[in-house]
Structure 1
Amino acid sequence: MAAMPPMDDELKALQWRAWHRGTREADLMIGGFFDAHREQWGSQERDWFSGLLQEQDVDIMAWAIGAAEPPARFQGPMMQAMQRLDYLKAPK
């Protein structure tokens, strides 16, 4: 397995915010999404994720599982990737 490239300060800040949400479930969903996808992100994707992190965890999780429609500003390929939930590791 190849080592992940080092993160710049912006990505480190996003990582911290993604993994320190307040509940373990939100940490796993939002932090797991960050870990799985951050290597492919350019500035637009980073901006989208930064904006998403401003939202309430219950809203983000509802959008990710399809229980609620995300606002237009969060719709698109990034939300679709989050909604696949294929980045979550299920405990054994």
Structure 2
Amino acid sequence: MTVEPRDIRLKRLKIRAEHRGIKEMDLILGGWAAAHLAHASEAELDLFEAILAEADLDLYQWVSGQQPAPEAYAAFIEDLAATVRIGGA
């Protein structure tokens, strides 16, 4: 198995975050990616990649507080939601 170089992985994750399908998630996830990907740990990148695999509707409901996020994602989703609230204020 070939290991993907970090710079390629970051570019791939940024593109996936910015081109989700619904504009709200493009802005939310793309904004987080722009601000945090460069200094994220490998574990954070793994978590972000797993979150990117989730459906937009589920992600939006978690971030907006309409539905609770799965426990594995709860802390990240709360951070993401707080970032959106701060940025939108």
TM-score range, shorter chain: 0.7 to 0.9
Higher helix share: 2
1:34-53 alignment, distance < 5 Å:
34-53=33-52
1:12-91 alignment, distance < 5 Å:
12-76=11-75, 78-84=76-82, 85-86=84-85, 88=87
Q: Which has the higher contact order (CA 8 A, sep 6+)?
A: 1
Aligned residues: 83
Partner Cα separation in structure 2 for residue 24 and residue 13 of structure 1 = 18
Deviations 1:48-92 (A, max 9, x none): 00000000011111111111100111122x2221010146468xx
Amino acid at match of 1:15: K
Deviations 1:9-30 (A, max 9, x none): 0000000100111122211111
Asked if the contact 1:29/1:88 (under 8 Å) is kept, the reply is no
Q: How large is the Cα RMSD of the aligned pairs?
A: 1.9
